[in-house]
């Protein structure tokens, strides 16, 4: 038994979807996010904009917090979401900004 805190994926899906937990924890965050070609700050900015562009606001809360931990400022993230309105669509940007406001002002 490990003393390590269970990951978010493990808390959500545990024994229900162990393969998804493995791919999330070991492949995505264990291998992809640790690659050196992009900094964690850059990876976070790319991830936040991709989630916003696709309207995946369920994951945006977590990734906006992670983006701040990885060195992105609230101003940078708000600007990126504002910029996306013209390229990804107004509804996606508005929805993402609502999540950002909740995350940054709570």
Domains and CATH numbers, the chain: 9-38 (no CATH), 40-105 (1.20.1290.10)
Report the pLDDT value the prediction gives residue 104, as an integer from 0 to 100. 97
- Burial status of residue 16 (CB atoms within 10 A of its CB: 0-12, 13-18, 19 or more): exposed
- What global pTM score does this model have? 0.89
Number of CB atoms found within 10 A of residue 18's CB:
12
Please count the CA atoms within 13 angstroms of the CA of 26 that sit on its side-chain side.
Answer: 6
pLDDT above 70 covers what percent of the chain? 97
Report the pLDDT value the prediction gives residue 106, as an integer from 0 to 100. 83
């Amino acid at each position: 038994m490990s003393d390590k805190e269970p990951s978010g994926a493990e808390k959500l899906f545990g024994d229900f979807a162990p393969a998804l937990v493995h791919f999330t924890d070991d492949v995505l965050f264990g291998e992809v996010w640790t690659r050196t070609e992009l900094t964690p700050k850059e990876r976070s900015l790319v991830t936040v904009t991709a989630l916003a562009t696709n309207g995946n606001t369920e994951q945006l809360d977590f990734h906006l917090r992670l983006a701040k931990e990885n060195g992105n400022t609230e101003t940078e993230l708000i600007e990126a979401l504002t910029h996306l309105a013209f390229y990804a669509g107004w509804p996606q940007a508005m929805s993402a900004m609502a999540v950002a406001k909740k995350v940054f002002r709570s």
